[in-house]
Amino acid sequence: MSLDLADTALGRPRAAEQSETEPSTTRKRPVVAITATLTIIALLLAWTVAAHFKLVSALFLPSPFEAGRAFLRVASEGFVDATLWQHLSASLGRVFAALVATTLIAVPIGFSIGASPIGRGIFDPIIEFLRPIPPLAYLPLVIIWFGIGEPSKVLIIGISMLAPIVISTASGVKGVDTDRVNAARSLGATRAQLVRHVVLPSALPSILTGIRIALGVGWSTLVAAELVAASRGLGFMIQSAAQFLVTDVVLMGILVIAAVAVALEAVLRWIERRLVPWAGKA
């Protein structure tokens, strides 16, 4: 913090004026990366030390090495009748099924909220109602209505993804540059062409951001969804392990869920850079 102040505000006022934020952010990046790495190392070290000196019982806190061994064991032999890869692909399959279905529903809803007052009147209350409800709260109702099959699990994840995509799509549609719309109209665009050639591409960066956020939300809903009579999945694996106090598998499962979340985020950001390289630049 003090370093930032010295750099931008006091230390080099001229340079800061000339090129806005560029020099300070490029110099900040390695600092952030180094600090972040050190934090992770410190946490791992604290965990190792606590486990090694039995500050916490091994039953509650296995060492990082045990979690690592659990990873190798579950990856090769499996846990509760499925390998780690099978658990992972079951979970990913549910989240992606939910993502595809929800995107197909949420983008048109977002369009109608962003483009028409009537659409907004119809859908806004529904979305605002659904948005703050934690997935565990509607879980029992979904089971009553739809049973304990695969669709229920996908539905629970899907509901949690709905609001982020709808809201970002709507804000993308609302934020379409009036001049661009007018430019297209003056070049002869019909209403349908406006939507296809101007509104949709304009809103695409927002839609992708919504999908990225939704994927994060959906992934974190996974454990709740797999409470429902699952026989595979990372969430199911963690719960089964917890019932038998196999804490190393629980810990390993949590770490895998976190790692996959980071990987998904990175993939989505890569897709955004490829699909909408202009976002924020024009």
Partner 1 sequence: MPHLALESVSLRYDGGAPVLSNVSLDIASGEFVVVVGRSGCGKTSLLNLAAGFLHPTSGRVLVDDRPVAGPGAERAVVFQNDALFPWLSTAENVAFAARLAGASAAERRLQADRALEIVGLAGLGDRPVWQLSGGQRQRVGLARALAAEPDFLLMDEPLGALDAMTRETLQDLLLQTWGRNRAGTLLITHGVEEALYLATQIIVMAPGPGRIIRRLDVDFGRRRLAGESARSIKASPAFVEAREDLLDSIFEREAA
Chain residues that interact with partner 1, rule: CB under 8 A: 177, 179-180, 182-190, 193, 197-198, 201, 204, 276-278, 281-282
As to burial, measured by CB atoms within 10 angstroms (0-12 exposed, 13-18 middle, 19+ buried), residue 104 is exposed
**Least spacing, CB of residue 109 vs partner 1, in Å:** 23
Please, which residues have CB within 8 angstroms of residue 28's CB and are 6 or more apart in sequence?
A: 4
**Least spacing, CB of residue 197 vs partner 1, in Å:** 7
**Least spacing, CB of residue 76 vs partner 1, in Å:** 47
Q: What count of other Cβ atoms lies within 10 Å of the Cβ of residue 137?
A: 10
Choice between 54 and 196, CB closer to partner 1 = 196
**Least spacing, CB of residue 202 vs partner 1, in Å:** 8
Closest to 47 in 3D by CA, of 211, 248, 197 = 248
Given a contact cutoff of 8 angstroms between Cβ atoms, the answer to whether 182 and 122 are in contact is no
**Least spacing, CB of residue 170 vs partner 1, in Å:** 20
Alpha-carbon gap, residue 168 to 151, rounded angstroms: 26
Closest to 221 in 3D by CA, of 89, 54, 94 = 94
Choice between 14 and 281, CB closer to partner 1 = 281
Please, which residues have CB within 8 angstroms of residue 208's CB and are 6 or more apart in sequence?
A: 268, 271, 272, 275, 276
Choice between 204 and 260, CB closer to partner 1 = 204
Choice between 141 and 282, CB closer to partner 1 = 282
**Least spacing, CB of residue 212 vs partner 1, in Å:** 19
Residue 127, token pair as written in the block: 């979305």
Choice between 39 and 190, CB closer to partner 1 = 190
Choice between 189 and 255, CB closer to partner 1 = 189
